[in-house]
Structure 1
Amino acid sequence: MATSCDLLVIGGGLIGTAMAWGAARTGAKVTVIDGEDDAYRASVGNFGLLWTQGKGINSPAYAAWTRAAVNQWPEFAQALADISGVDIGFQQNGGLHFMLSEAEAEKRMAQLAPLAAAKDDFAIEFIAAAELRRSMPDLGPEVYGATFCRRDGAVNPLTLLQALRVALARSGVSILAGTSVKQIQLSGGSFTVVAGDHKILADKLLLAAGLGSRELGHQVGLDLAVFPQRGQLMITARTTRLLDLPASSVRQMPEGTILLGSTQENVGFNKSIGVPQLANIAQRAVRIFPRIADLDLVRSWACLRVMTPDGFPIYQQSEQYPGAFAATAHSGVTLAGIHALTVAPALLSGTLPPALDAFAAGRFGDWQGHAGGSEH
């Protein structure tokens, strides 16, 4: 027996659930197909940062899109809290990137020069080590300073995903979990999708299946240049407070554990743990906060990020199959608010916001393999 909906979202990660909830908030009937347990899930392997620092250095369009996304986070966070009742640990009091030498600081400030020149809340500031130690006395002697952006922030990425799942359920969204898509067809102006034992008829379709979107895209005329990039992380046992602000490689969670990361490795679909890479992460963290050396390691893990050749997102409507869209990005947390509040309603109307023209899939031409990207 077939079911029908206004929007079918394929992918139950941060991008898919944010878009699905955004669509449901407008009154649309939405169905989400989540993958099976062996699916590659980038949403469970990130720092949970809301980050503009360094984003879009070589892409004014992406810098503007990221800033717009961060601006929408307070509204998004409040609306999500109201419907879900889940504490996602939202904070937006600024973020730090530590530097361990004068040379490292000079290189970073040169890279950030176009952003540092801004005269608004997104300006990048340099904070010298002496000033940092006033609020973080446990900083190591090698720390030279840090860059700071007052609009950066963080959430708990796991409770964010939990909150979105609760919001979907309370908004009447149907979630088909543990299900893989077998076939997508366009017939009579609507899409027919076969997933497991289910047949869904949808007016519009969104591919938000991460690395799985490349293969699915071929069924709706979309050539999506995505590839995996491994990121490894670690988390320590709880300790007393070291730092109150999130940082790009060291983040203390509210309960006192310290999240350390992350690597950027082009190793295909290999999700194994690499001891040398974890050692490098730990060594840098100890140079920033020597006390970390005395903490027990609770867990280490690897995830596969969804990357593109230039490191920036892809947003595309199929020209061959209008109404079929794809969205993929590495920064699912940062972009969650704008996906829900701006992109989803536009998608239901059959368009994408003009600001996303710069992120069309066709910019990669006849892509045959990754060149590496980092969204900077």
Structure 2
Amino acid sequence: MGARVVDVVVVGAGVIGAACADALSSAGLRVTVLDRGPLASGTSAAGEGNILVSDKEPGPELDLALSSLSRWPTLVGGTDIEWDPKGGLVVATGDPAPLAHFAAVQREAGIDARWITPAEALEREPHLTTRVTAAVHYPQDAQVQPVLATQALLSNVRRRGGVLRPGVTVVGLDARGVHTSEGIIACDHVVNACGPWSGEVSRTLGAPIAIAPRRGMVLVTAPLPPTVRHKVYDADYVGAVASGDADLQTSTVVESTAAGTILIGSSRERVGFDESIRVRVLRELARKAVALFPTLADVPVMRAYGGFRPYAPDHLPVIGADPRVPGLWHATGHEGAGIGLAAATGALLAELLTGVTPHLNPTPFRVDRPGVLECA
């Protein structure tokens, strides 16, 4: 592909696509962002906005998370994205040994994981169940409002002269450029940042990768006085995140928002793109949340919503060039950690695309690793 009016077309206007477009436009490239729906309306609109280190074991994903954590506070300037460095609290109500081991391993990797007593946990969260046997406080965990964060990144792109085009569907790719429902866009590079739909779009672009949707659901309570101060979850959550099981997995996650509502999760289930509300899942989430915070038993639920996470077979994001199609790049597979990993993902992809020495080792995220291509 030769010199074009557009240097890069980013397909997907969720937080990962927005972060990639932000980093690329910051590097001086001419960027156009496409999305078949409204901007920031897919997975990023269905998330909780978590920026976590507490749920990641030492390795490439934790390195990516730490890099993102350091970038998020200044990435969107003074824009209000409801940045809240609230910290996380992971609690055990049974055998504390697995949680103690996990926290110890994280501390060895440089994470601020503070082992606290049940009494200290109750001081931090007075409404917590007295059945807690142990807890770990993670001061580094934070939260943003995901739609505001995504829109702020896209505003950066627009301010630098980038073009945002919602309602445009990609239908192919060849030497002339990206074929869309609105015509051909000539460009040098294309970034597939379509989240759970990345597998489908990768096939359209002629280079299939093994990304599939993983369904999750969240309950939202009516606004309450200050009730939950941290992101609080039970020790089972880490295992549910790392599991590859297609069947339903639930674990207790409870946290407040700036509006005073309480978000209750989390569930994971591979059911394709089935959007139906599953009452049995909501009942399970509610039951486990009340077990962790008994005071929630009489709180009205205002609504429930669900979304799809981009699931990769080895639970690592896919970031980099596709070896099969010149000019094609992928940034996807972050599952439920997209908000937290977005800032560093955008930076890493821009570094690789522009030939700058990457700030992280990109090899673990390469597209041509076992499973990502072989299972496609």
TM superposition score normalised by structure 1: 0.85
Q: Distance in 1 between matches of 2:361 and 2:41?
A: 29
Q: Which residue of 1 aligns with 2:24?
A: 23
Do residues 206 (structure 1) and 191 (structure 2) align? yes
Q: Distance in 2 between matches of 1:231 and 1:332?
A: 14
Shift, 1:221, TM fit = 5.3
Q: Which residue of 2 aligns with 1:372?
A: none
Letter in 2 for 1:74: P
Shift, 1:247, TM fit = 2.7
Q: Which residue of 2 aligns with 1:156?
A: 145
Q: Which residue of 2 aligns with 1:106?
A: 97
Tell me, what secondary structure is at the counterpart of 1:333?
Answer: helix
Letter in 2 for 1:16: G
Q: Which residue of 2 aligns with 1:74?
A: 73
Shift, 1:229, TM fit = 0.7
Tell me, what secondary structure is at the counterpart of 2:338?
Answer: coil
Q: Distance in 2 between matches of 1:344 and 1:316?
A: 9
Q: Distance in 2 between matches of 1:209 and 1:62?
A: 19
Do residues 360 (structure 1) and 360 (structure 2) align? no
**Aligned residue runs from structure 1 range 106-185, under 5 A:** 106-118=97-109, 120=110, 122-185=111-174
- Do 2:118 and 2:134's aligned partners in 1 also have CA atoms closer than 8 Å? yes
Do residues 286 (structure 1) and 287 (structure 2) align? no
Q: Which residue of 1 aligns with 2:339?
A: 333
Shift, 1:125, TM fit = 2.3
- Do 1:221 and 1:318's aligned partners in 2 also have CA atoms closer than 8 Å? no
Identity score, percent: 28
- Do 1:91 and 1:154's aligned partners in 2 also have CA atoms closer than 8 Å? yes
Q: Distance in 2 between matches of 1:352 and 1:320?
A: 22
Unaligned ranges ≥5, structure 1:
370-376
Do residues 262 (structure 1) and 266 (structure 2) align? yes
Shift, 1:343, TM fit = 3.0
Shift, 1:345, TM fit = 4.2
Shift, 1:259, TM fit = 0.6
Q: Which residue of 1 aligns with 2:244?
A: none
- Do 1:49 and 1:334's aligned partners in 2 also have CA atoms closer than 8 Å? yes
Letter in 2 for 1:167: N
Q: Which residue of 2 aligns with 1:241?
A: 226
Do residues 227 (structure 1) and 212 (structure 2) align? yes
Letter in 1 for 2:77: A
Q: Which residue of 1 aligns with 2:89?
A: 96
Q: Distance in 1 between matches of 2:46 and 2:210?
A: 21
Q: Distance in 2 between matches of 1:112 and 1:132?
A: 15
Q: Which residue of 2 aligns with 1:373?
A: none
- Do 1:54 and 1:115's aligned partners in 2 also have CA atoms closer than 8 Å? no
Q: Which residue of 1 aligns with 2:61?
A: 62
Tell me, what secondary structure is at the counterpart of 2:210?
Answer: coil
Q: Select 1:296's aligned residue among 300, 312, 325.
A: 300
Q: Which residue of 2 aligns with 1:324?
A: 328
Q: 1:114 to 1:222 in 2, by over 3 A?
A: farther
Shift, 1:350, TM fit = 8.1
Q: Distance in 2 between matches of 1:95 and 1:266?
A: 27
Q: Distance in 2 between matches of 1:203 and 1:210?
A: 22
Q: 1:316 to 1:220 in 2, by over 3 A?
A: farther
Q: Distance in 1 between matches of 2:37 and 2:70?
A: 34
- Do 2:13 and 2:40's aligned partners in 1 also have CA atoms closer than 8 Å? no
Cα distance per residue 1:222-256 (max 9 Å; x no partner): 33111111101011001111122223411111221
- Do 2:331 and 2:345's aligned partners in 1 also have CA atoms closer than 8 Å? no
Shift, 1:209, TM fit = 1.1
Q: Distance in 1 between matches of 2:179 and 2:356?
A: 23
Q: Distance in 2 between matches of 1:92 and 1:344?
A: 27
- Do 1:179 and 1:195's aligned partners in 2 also have CA atoms closer than 8 Å? yes
Tell me, what secondary structure is at the counterpart of 2:127?
Answer: coil
Letter in 2 for 1:89: E
Tell me, what secondary structure is at the counterpart of 1:110?
Answer: helix
How large is the Cα RMSD of the aligned pairs?
2.5
Cα distance per residue 1:61-87 (max 9 Å; x no partner): 2222222222222332xxx134xx3x1
Q: Which residue of 1 aligns with 2:182?
A: 197
- Do 1:128 and 1:145's aligned partners in 2 also have CA atoms closer than 8 Å? yes
**Aligned residue runs from structure 1 range 296-315, under 5 A:** 296-315=300-319
Runs of 4 or more consecutive aligned structure 1 residues displaced over 4 Å after TM superposition: 37-40, 350-354
Q: Distance in 2 between matches of 1:165 and 1:293?
A: 40
Shift, 1:37, TM fit = 6.2
- Do 2:43 and 2:308's aligned partners in 1 also have CA atoms closer than 8 Å? yes
Q: 1:318 to 1:351 in 2, by over 3 A?
A: farther
Tell me, what secondary structure is at the counterpart of 2:272?
Answer: coil
Tell me, what secondary structure is at the counterpart of 1:163?
Answer: helix
Q: Distance in 1 between matches of 2:74 and 2:159?
A: 19
TM superposition score normalised by structure 2: 0.85
Q: 1:318 to 1:6 in 2, by over 3 A?
A: same
Q: Distance in 2 between matches of 1:206 and 1:124?
A: 36
